[in-house]
Amino acid sequence: MKFIIIWSIFIIFANAKDQVVYNFSNNFKRNKLPEGFELLNENISNGPITKNRNKDNGTKRNLYSMLRNEDDSFYYKYDEFNRLKNETSIKSEYLCEIRSQLRPEVIKGYDISCPFYYTIVIDKVFYGRYKKDFIHCVDGTKSNNYKKRYTKKRIEKRKINKMLCGYEPIEKVKNSCEGKSYCTLIPNKTFYYNKCRNKLKYLHIDYHCKKSKELKKEKITIVSFYDNIESNSVQEHSVSELYQYANIHGYEFEYSKLNYMPERSVYFMKIAIIIEKLLEGLKYKKYNWIVWADSDVIILNPNIKLETFLPDEKMNNKIHLIIARDPFYNGVNSGVIFIRVHEWSLNLISRVMSYPYYNKEKILRRPEQDALSNILLEFKESEHYVIVPPEWFNTSLIKKGGFLYHIMSKRKNERFFKFLNTSKGDEEWYSRTNEYMRKEVMNYYKLRKEEQLQIGIQR
C-alpha cells in the first residue's frame, strides 16, 4: 500500500513537471513584472497581473487554463536538421565593380547566401584584378562563366590588367558576412580601396556554408507601448495577456509608457521603440525577431506560437517583414508587426521615421502605416516582405479559432467585455492547433507574389 501511494505521488509530480516543461519553453527566463503592475493573486505566480488589486473587477483571464499539450515540430524540424551535412562545398564568386556616383543606400549590390540552418564562412577575398585575367567582368557583368574570346586590341580597350593589381580585404568582408544566412556586398570605391585605377575590377570571394551547431529556438521579443493605462481597461487586459503569453512560450515581453517624442504623432513611438529593439538585437544578438503589438491587442488562442508565422527553409531568406493588409483600406495595418533583426529592417524603420519630413505634401491619415506602405512600394522592397491576411493576427472581425484580436474601435472596452461574456467557457475560441495554422500559413507563402495580398500607394 505504501508503495502504491509513493508511486502515485511520483506520477503526479512527473505530470506536473511535464506541464511546466510545456508551459515554459527551452531557455525560459521569466519576464519581470511590467512597471506599475502586480500579480492579481499573490499565490498564482503565473497568472494574470493588474495595476491595482483593490480596483480590479475580476475579469482578467488566466491564459494557462486555456493551454493544450503541443510540441513544436510544426516549425522546428529536428530530424531534418540532424541529417544535414556540417558544411557545403566552397563557392567562388566574381562580383564586378559597380561604378556609380550614387550613395551606397540606393545602389543594388550583390548577394551571397546559404541555405536555411547554415551561415556564411569566408575563405578568401580579393579586390582588384588578377594578372592576365581576360575572362571575369570584362564587360562589367557579374557572370563568372564568361568564355568569350576577346582580341588583344579589345582587351586593351577594356583595360584588362597585365599584372596583378589589388589587395585582400578579407576582414572587411568577414565582418559584413560571416555568421549570417546572406549578405549584400557593394564592390565600389565607397567600400574598397581603388589600387587599380582605370582598370575593370571585381571582388573575388570564396566561401562555404556551415551548419549551426544545434537547432536553436528563435529568440523573439514582444514589444508594445501603452500611454496612460486605466484599471480594467482593454490596455490593462492587453498587458496582462501579453505578459502571460510571453512567459508561456519563452519570449521576452517589454512594454514602454514614456512618450519621449510628444511633438510627433504618438504612433511614431511605435517606430522609435522598434528602432531601439533592432539596435539591441544587432549589437548584442539578443533577438532574431521583434513582434510589435498595439495596446488594444488581446490573445484569443494562447496555444498559437509566433513561430507559426515565420518563414521556413523553402522561402527566400530575405523575408524580413511580415505584416497584415488593413481590412478597411489598401495599405498595411501596423497593429501587429513581425520584423526580423537585420540591417535591412533598421534601414526600413529609419526611413519610416523620417518619411513625413521629406513628404510634406502627403496627408498620411494613418501616419506610420501610410509611411510604411509607401516606402515598401516606392523603394521596390517586395523581396523583403510578405503582406498577409488580417485574419491571422491583426483582425477586428473576431471569430472562433483566431489567434489575436485587434480591437480597432472607439468603443474598445464595450467590444472587449462583450467578447469576454460570449467566449467564457467556450473552448472553440482556442481550439485551433499550431500544426493546422502552420499549414494555412505555408500554403499562402507558397503562392506567387502577385497572388498574395497587395497594397497601394497612400496619398
pLDDT at 388 (0 to 100): 98
Q: What are the chain's domains?
A: 27-76+217-451 (3.90.550.10), 86-211 (2.60.120.740)
Whether 269 contacts 352, CB under 8 Å? no
The rounded percent of the chain whose pLDDT value lies above 90 is 76
Does residue 337 sit in helix, strand or coil? Answer: strand
Which residue(s) pair with 395 in the sheet? 405
Whether the predicted pLDDT of 262 surpasses 50 = yes
- Structure confidence by residue, pLDDT tens digits, 346-385: 999 999 999 999 999 999 999 999 999 999 999 999 999 9
- Structure confidence by residue, pLDDT tens digits, 54-111: 999 999 999 999 999 999 999 999 999 999 999 999 999 999 999 888 888 888 899 9
pLDDT at 101 (0 to 100): 83
Report residue 189 as a C-alpha cell. 570605391
DSSP strand E in 56-193: where? 91-96, 110-113, 118-129, 165-167, 182-185
Whether 456 contacts 377, CB under 8 Å? yes
CA 297 vs CA 69, 276, 380: distances in Å: 24, 21, 30
Neighbours of 19 (CB within 10 A): 13
Element (H, E) at 433: none
φ/ψ (deg, to 5) at 83:
-85, -15
Of 49-53, 233-237, 314-318, the range with the lowest mean pLDDT is 314-318
Q: d(Cα 456, Cα 47) in Å, to the nearest integer? A: 42
Give the model's confidence band at 241: pLDDT under 50 very low, under 70 low, under 90 confident, else very high. Answer: very high
Whether the predicted pLDDT of 156 surpasses 80 = no
Q: CA-based Rg of the chain, rounded to a whole angstrom?
A: 26
**Torsion 47-294-400-233 (CA) sign:** positive
Widest Cα–Cα separation across the chain: 101
CA proximity to 140, closest of 160, 124, 168: 160
Mean pLDDT of 114-141: 89
Mean pLDDT of 238-245: 97
Of 9-13, 225-229, 393-397, the range with the lowest mean pLDDT is 9-13
DSSP track, 358-378 = H-TT---SSHHHHHHHHHHHH
Which residue(s) pair with 205 in the sheet? 93, 125
Does residue 151 sit in helix, strand or coil? Answer: coil
Q: d(Cα 143, Cα 135) in Å, to the nearest integer? A: 10
Residue type, 400: K
Q: Whose grid coordinates read 584584378? A: 129
* Average pLDDT over all residues of the chain: 88
Angle at the Cα of 297 from the Cα atoms of 459 and 252, rounded to 5 degrees: 110
Q: d(Cα 115, Cα 109) in Å, to the nearest integer? A: 20
Give the model's confidence band at 161: pLDDT under 50 very low, under 70 low, under 90 confident, else very high. Answer: low
Give the model's confidence band at 398: pLDDT under 50 very low, under 70 low, under 90 confident, else very high. Answer: confident
Does residue 315 sit in helix, strand or coil? Answer: coil
pLDDT at 197 (0 to 100): 81
φ/ψ (deg, to 5) at 442:
-70, -35
CA proximity to 299, closest of 360, 205, 234, 359: 234
The rounded percent of the chain whose pLDDT value lies above 70 is 89
Listed in sequence order, the residues at least 6 apart from 22 whose beta carbon sits closer than 8 Å to its beta carbon are 67, 69, 70
Report residue 405 as a C-alpha cell. 484580436
Element (H, E) at 410: none
Give the model's confidence band at 150: pLDDT under 50 very low, under 70 low, under 90 confident, else very high. Answer: very low
Whether 192 contacts 128, CB under 8 Å? no
Neighbours of 181 (CB within 10 A): 17
- Residue 395 is classified by DSSP as B
